[in-house]
């Protein structure tokens, strides 16, 4: 599938071993890229496994949370994954979500400052510049130790939702990963990337825009929408994504969802997601309709849509949902 990838939610009920098997199925169908999430899991460890089990598909962290590991550790993992895969790795970086970071006791700072510093350190190491001049010199058998660098370039993509972070991605990253951004909002995303690129004297055409979008394939559109509600319940109340919904013109829905989220009311969150909202933020319905929506996403300026498949029936396994979706879109 030229110009199309998919994402796997790594906290979903699927053994890590089977994630590698799903990747093999996807690359045999011709999909170009596979992203892995990080939520109470280790996306870079998962990516290392998938890279070792595949031959053609590009593997990407979507995203590795910067507050959970030192930049040197992220760079070391990226170097390892890139080398064992022959350069088939993209390092996606992002902030995670404040409520979860705080619950884990993780200290966070100012998002734009932290991401700029983190990506700067990672890029310095990857490109061989001295990122840590105070490191004491060490040697092995008379040879000075150096931080290992990948044999091939590792692109750095950055997750962003709001305009300030989108501009930052245009300034410092090789690509932008969008999630829960409405299809109608892509032109504004492109403009933000261009503004950021202009600040750094970069060509915005060289900065890849990726949109991670939930895909529910089912002949009954009403059923697909309901399953999307159930899947999105986990995310739409989180502050950054809730703000994205608000900024897309769904102010009433965003407030309803936020209040239900604060109460811990899962059903209330679902009731706040109208059909109109779902149609803006998801790809839903029969396979033919889903394919048309994916084409529309690319035509809006997204370089690569990344599908996050969701199950339909309680008896359907998560792996089954992924493979069914990939086959329906590929056929």
pLDDT digits over 252-291, tens only? 999 999 999 999 999 999 999 999 999 999 999 999 999 9
For 33: left if phi > 0, alpha if psi spans -120 to 50, otherwise beta; the answer is beta
Mean pLDDT of 300-321: 95
Buried b (16+ CB within 10 A) or exposed e, 87-126: ebbbbbbbbbbeeebeeeeeeeeebeeebeebbebbbbbb
Q: What is the pLDDT of residue 314?
A: 87
- pLDDT bracket for residue 2 (50, 70, 90): confident
Q: What is the pLDDT of residues 184-228, one digit of tens each?
A: 999 999 999 999 999 999 999 999 999 999 999 999 999 999 999
CATH among 1.20.120.550, 3.20.20.30, 2.40.50.180, 3.40.50.720 for 5-216+283-330: 3.20.20.30
Is pLDDT above 80 for 1?
A: no
> What is the CA 207 to chain-centroid distance, rounded?
15
What are the extents of the domains in the chain? Answer: 5-216+283-330
């Amino acid at each position: 599938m030229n110009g199309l990838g998919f994402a796997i939610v790594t906290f979903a009920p699927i053994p890590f071993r089977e994630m590698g098997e799903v990747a093999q199925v996807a690359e045999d169908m011709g999909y170009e890229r596979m992203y892995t999430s990080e939520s109470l899991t280790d996306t870079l460890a998962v990516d290392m496994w998938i890279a070792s089990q595949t031959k053609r598909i590009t593997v990407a962290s979507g995203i590795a949370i910067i507050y959970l590991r030192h930049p040197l550790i992220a760079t070391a993992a990226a170097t390892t994954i890139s080398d064992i895969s022959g350069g088939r790795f993209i390092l996606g970086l992002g902030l995670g979500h404040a409520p979860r970071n705080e619950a884990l006791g993780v200290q966070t700072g100012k998002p734009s400052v932290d991401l700029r510093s983190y990506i700067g350190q990672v890029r310095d190491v990857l490109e061989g510049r001295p990122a840590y001049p105070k490191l004491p010199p060490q040697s092995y058998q008379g040879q000075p130790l150096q931080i290992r660098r990948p044999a091939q370039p590792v692109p750095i993509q950055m997750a962003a939702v709001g305009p300030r972070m989108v501009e930052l991605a245009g300034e410092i990253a090789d690509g932008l990963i969008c999630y829960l951004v409405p299809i109608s909002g892509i032109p504004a995303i492109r403009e933000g990337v261009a503004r950021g690129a202009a600040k750094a004297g970069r060509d915005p055409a060289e900065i890849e825009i990726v949109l991670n979008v939930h895909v529910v394939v089912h002949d009954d559109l009403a059923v697909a929408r309901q399953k999307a509600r159930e899947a999105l319940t986990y995310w739409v109340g989180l502050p950054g994504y809730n703000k994205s919904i608000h900024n897309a013109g769904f102010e009433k829905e965003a407030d309803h969802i936020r209040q239900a989220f604060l109460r811990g009311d899962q059903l209330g969150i679902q009731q706040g997601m109208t059909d109109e909202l779902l149609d803006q933020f998801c790809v839903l319905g029969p396979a033919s309709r889903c394919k048309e929506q994916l084409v529309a996403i690319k035509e809006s300026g997204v370089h690569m849509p990344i599908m996050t498949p969701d199950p339909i029936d309680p008896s359907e396994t998560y792996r089954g949902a992924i493979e069914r979706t990939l086959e329906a879109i590929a056929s």
